[in-house]
Amino acid sequence: MSSHVLTEWNPEDKTFWETKGKAIATRNLWISIPCLFLAFAVWMVWSVVCVNLPLIGFKYSTNQLFWLAALPGLSGATLRIFYSFMVPIFGGRKWTAISTASLLIPAAGIGLAVQDPTTSYSTFLILAVLCGFGGGNFASSMANISFFFPKAQKGTALGLNAGLGNLGVSGMQFLVPLVIGTGTFAAVCGPAQMCIIGAEIKPMWLQNAAFIWIPFVIVSTIAAWFGMNDIASAKASFKDQAIIFRRKHNWLMCWLYLGTFGSFIGYSAGLPLLTKSQFPGINPVKYAFLGPLVGALIRPVGGWLADKLGGARVTFWNFILMAGAVVGVLAFLPHGGVGGNFWGFLAMFILLFATTGVGNGSTFRMIPIIFLTERQREAEGKGEAAKEQAIKDAGKEAAAVLGFTSAIAAYGAFFIPKSFGTSIAATGGPQTALYGFIAFYGSCILLTWWYYSRRNAEAPC
């Protein structure tokens, strides 16, 4: 058997964990994180590229641009459904390397397309769909890391993997405006396009937004292939994993994670264009990275808080804060095309991103606890063999649920930008979409309280 395959893996055994398991798990985690960072960067690159397309001569309507920002979310979410089940089928090492390498396709495609002024809108739509490869990676990455750590440390480990991986969004939104303004890579990446801003004409190298990631993707793919591990006991067919579709708590956690991660990734994709449409005098790319940065950095804190206080309690209060933050956004928006306060608007969105980060960490800590509790209840009174099998079954189910809930939640990257675009087109402003988000968070508050956080809840966690 390959030296990369772990035939013995029992992180719940304290002796095994301290003498052998911890070092292996940590190495896999720290290789996984940059792979996931790059996946998020490529997935969300359209949130910045589409803002700049009109400046270099591509004449698209606001709604067409929102489509380009939203489509990676739609394709990424759909791919996550399939990626959720790939780690137990192929192995975490193999699938991480393959899925990371796939990012080269949209990165190269976008870099070439933006240099050709005759590139059609349909070509850009196809490239936006291909960026979904980056979105799909999150599901398999989180499922993989969940196998490596003991229950007591899953919240922190998953929070680090996801939180530092989520930094790919803010990292991209910070770095791309810098690299598209420099000709340093022109000899390799191609000449500038002429960017027209008012009466000013200046060069822009928009292809750098995509090409900049290619060398890092290659290095991370090699690191994953040679440095990560597959776990033999984590092997399972799709049929084995499909049992989660009969688990009620799979669907409940899909709804709650849509509220947290769906919000994080949806606001990340839609905020630059929303800012441009509501505050035309503001350059959104100067500030777009701040919200995702805060949300990503605070996600491990959400996992840590959930480990200390309980995932359900943290999630319940967090959804209340999320609804309040949206009320704040509404208060600072322009009304009837006049008024509004950009700094208040930005502050409320940064608060909203912070709450999405905390909620991302706390909900993902809930999932392994819920499924371990359920399987252990079923094994009570059936002997030690049944108890050991319950732990293995819970691990496989929780990994599949982690991936599948992330797939459903990723549709937020489509629905939130599209909701903004549709609301603006229909009513002249985004308020209708925001009121809808408040109602949705209200449903999340009720579900969390009833099933998980109240006294005598069905699945306290």
State which H helix or E strand residue 377 sits in: helix 342-379
The alpha-carbon radius of gyration of the chain (Å, integer) is 22
State which H helix or E strand residue 331 sits in: helix 311-332
Distance (Å) of CA 248 to CA 101, 326, 389: 35, 29, 21
- Supply the pLDDT for residue 159: 76
Helices (H), 131-237: 132-146, 151-179, 186-189, 208-211, 214-227
Q: How many CB atoms lie within 10 A of CB 460?
A: 18
Give the pLDDT confidence of 235-246 residue by residue, as tens digits. 767 777 778 888
Give the pLDDT confidence of 387-424 residue by residue, as tens digits. 888 877 787 788 778 778 888 888 888 889 889 989 98
* Contact indicator for 95, 140 with CB cutoff of 8 Å: yes
Q: How many CB atoms lie within 10 A of CB 193?
A: 21
Flag whether pLDDT at 427 surpasses 60.
Answer: yes
Assessment of whether the complete model's pTM goes beyond 0.85? no
Give the pLDDT confidence of 144-157 residue by residue, as tens digits. 888 898 877 877 78
* Contact indicator for 455, 313 with CB cutoff of 8 Å: no
Distance (Å) of CA 343 to CA 36, 271, 332, 381, 432: 31, 14, 8, 60, 21
